[in-house]
Amino acid sequence: MTFEYSKRVPHNDNDVVGEILEAAANPAVISFAGGLPAPELFPVEGMKKAADTVFDNEGQTALQYSNAVGETVLREEIVKLMTDRGVDTSVEHVGVTTGSEQSIDLLAKMFVNPGDTVIVEEPTYLCTLDVFRSYGANIVGVEMDENGMRMDKFEEALKAHPEAKLVYTIPTFQNPTGRTMSVDRRKKFVELANKYDLLVMEDDPYGAIRYEGEELPPLKKFDTQDRVVYMSTFSKILAPGMRLGWIVCNVDVLSNFVVMKQSADLHSDNLSQHIIATFLKQNDVYEHIKKISDLYRHRFELMLDYIKKEFPADAKHSHPEGGMFIWIELPGEVDTMELFKTCVEHNVAFVPGDAFYPNKPKMGTFRLNFSNVDDETIEVGMKRLGTALKEALEATK
């Protein structure tokens, strides 16, 4: 049979990310490629206690169908989290999602028609690029520096593309670079979004995991025209297997989002919603987040030490104040995919930077993850990586 796939399905056999994950899955390969939280910090006992409480007190309700917007008991807890993040909101503005991935997909489905222009940071989260491409978007990248998206370049892009419909950003501990947008730029960002009438998709999966510097308010804090759709997740602060996230947005947007969600999955996992809501009531989530931040700080600092000791002296790296990633930029014209193959031969892997660019990638760039590797693995893996990088750079001379 000939299968007539839609235009949303990539019509080629070039699955770069799949190839990377397959190579990294080899048990002999030390992988810095994933974006996984540290499983030893999953609150297993706390979740077990919360689950027991749910089954004892509301088991029949938790196992029944629910509503697409999410259980009120969890949305009330999310309002508290948002208040702590500096955003005043209410249950009527909060929707529960099946992770941030669903938030991104449904919002793109709601707002992007084939040919519509969307603006992103360059580089940016690779799965968001895949989603925008699947809906036929024209994707425009905006240059970044160590303080996040450059506002001069952002406005240049807006002037060049007055038809632009929305902008997607990860302003805090960005994926893949780990960079954070400064407060002044956050204010300017919202000002420009207002001026050019853009919808803003603010993705904040890592913002709670800070181990250096001062807390910064989300873009949503500066939203004076209700145009920012804030997205976050429990995957990085509790457990990704629960598959729960949330959005905070305009009530009209939320109403239409709920309609789209109903046709996608009817509702997010009801049992998980009740368990997480109960966990948040029974535990100090910020004490738990501090444990995550302390461990990630240690692993980040250790990886940074080995970058300084083992990498070529002219290699550049980001210096994140939180999150899970370090971004590397090598000098010269280095083919990153060939570099990846060389590193796999040395039994170490990363994510090549090519996958994070909407259009032409910057050569010699890649992302390292430190959250899901212990001290010994970091030491051995970074030594292997340093050797492979030096070999690859020598071969380009």
What would the pLDDT profile of 69-112 be if each residue is shown by its tens digit? 999 999 999 999 999 999 999 999 999 999 999 999 999 999 99
Q: Is pLDDT at 12 greater than 80 in this prediction? A: no
| Residue 122 counted as domain residue | yes
Within 8 A by CB and 6+ apart from 193, the residues are 167, 199, 200, 227, 228
pLDDT (0 to 100) of residue 393: 82
35 lies in the same domain as 48: no
Question: In whole numbers, what is the pLDDT of the chain averaged over residues?
Answer: 94
26-64 tens-digit pLDDT:
789 999 998 899 999 999 999 999 999 999 999 999 999
Q: Is pLDDT at 14 greater than 60 in this prediction? A: no
262 lies in the same domain as 357: no
How far is Cα 251 from Cα 211, in angstroms, rounded to an integer?
34
Q: Is pLDDT at 171 greater than 90 in this prediction? A: yes
Residue 185 identity (one-letter amino acid): R
277 lies in the same domain as 293: no
- Which CATH number covers residue 295? 3.90.1150.10
How far is Cα 186 from Cα 194, in angstroms, rounded to an integer?
12
| Residue 109 counted as domain residue | yes
**Residue 24 binned pLDDT confidence (cut-offs 50, 70, 90):** low
327 lies in the same domain as 230: no
How far is Cα 167 from Cα 175, in angstroms, rounded to an integer?
16
% of the chain residues with pLDDT over 70: 96
| Residue 335 counted as domain residue | yes
Helix/strand/coil percentages in the chain, nearest 5: 45, 15, 40
| Residue 354 counted as domain residue | yes
Return the ∠ at Cα 7 (arms to 4 and 8), rounded to 5°. Answer: 115
Q: Which domain holds residue 257?
A: 44-282
Dihedral through CA 218, CA 221, CA 222, CA 227, nearest 10?
Answer: 90
Of 265, 282, 299, at which residue does a domain stop? 282
Q: Scan for tokens 């235009």, then name that residue.
A: 7
pLDDT (0 to 100) of residue 333: 83
116 lies in the same domain as 261: yes
CB 165 within 8 A of CB 198: yes
The CA distances from residue 41 to 34, 206, 219, in Å, are 17, 15, 29
Residue 377 identity (one-letter amino acid): T
174 lies in the same domain as 318: no
134 lies in the same domain as 254: yes
Residue 31's closest CA among 293, 343, 361, 357?
Answer: 343
**Residue 4 binned pLDDT confidence (cut-offs 50, 70, 90):** confident
- Give pTM, 2 decimals: 0.95
pLDDT (0 to 100) of residue 274: 98
Of 282, 297, 323, at which residue does a domain stop? 282
343-368 tens-digit pLDDT:
999 999 999 999 999 999 999 999 99
Of 282, 305, 322, at which residue does a domain stop? 282
207 lies in the same domain as 91: yes
Query: Which residue stretches of 63-98 are H helix?
Result: 72-84
CB 247 within 8 A of CB 102: no
Dihedral through CA 121, CA 122, CA 127, CA 131, nearest 10?
Answer: 70
50 lies in the same domain as 35: no
224 lies in the same domain as 313: no
pLDDT (0 to 100) of residue 86: 96
- How many domains in the chain? 2
118-154 tens-digit pLDDT:
999 999 999 999 999 999 999 999 999 999 999 999 9
Residue 106's closest CA among 235, 250, 210, 253?
Answer: 253
Q: Is pLDDT at 201 greater than 70 in this prediction? A: yes
253-312 tens-digit pLDDT:
999 999 999 999 999 999 999 999 999 999 999 999 999 999 999 999 999 999 999 999
Residue 354 identity (one-letter amino acid): D
The token pair at 225 is 């025209």
164 lies in the same domain as 254: yes
Dihedral through CA 85, CA 91, CA 92, CA 96, nearest 10?
Answer: 80
pLDDT (0 to 100) of residue 20: 66
The token pair at 384 is 């292997």
